[in-house]
Amino acid sequence: MPKPGIHGRSNDQTGPSGLFRRAKQETAAATTPKNDVLRSTDPDVQAFYDSLTPYERIAHTIAVDKLGTSYTVRRTHGFLKWKSLQK
């Protein structure tokens, strides 16, 4: 069990503030071209990826990492909303 930090909170990276810190630290790494797993040959999907904020890119990168081939961007809430606004 991790040691509690200031104010009795743990110093691990799993709480809401820890996740925010980790996401903030990973923003640069997740948005660089060499680490960018968010590339597609489908023009709609690529346009959607290009429209994402850095934090949204991190979320999609984590989804790709964790879910692998089970992750289908065309079925995500974000893509469906983006697609409906494009018409």
pLDDT given at position 81: 94
Place of tokens 């469906």: 80
pLDDT given at position 34: 46
Q: What pLDDT tens digit does each residue of the chain (87 aa) get? A: 555 555 555 555 555 566 666 666 666 555 444 456 677 788 898 999 899 999 998 888 888 888 888 888 899 999 999 999 987
DSSP percent split of the chain into helix, strand, coil, nearest 5: 70, 0, 30
pTM: 0.56
Residue 75, CB-side half-sphere exposure with 13 Å CA sphere: 5
pLDDT given at position 33: 47
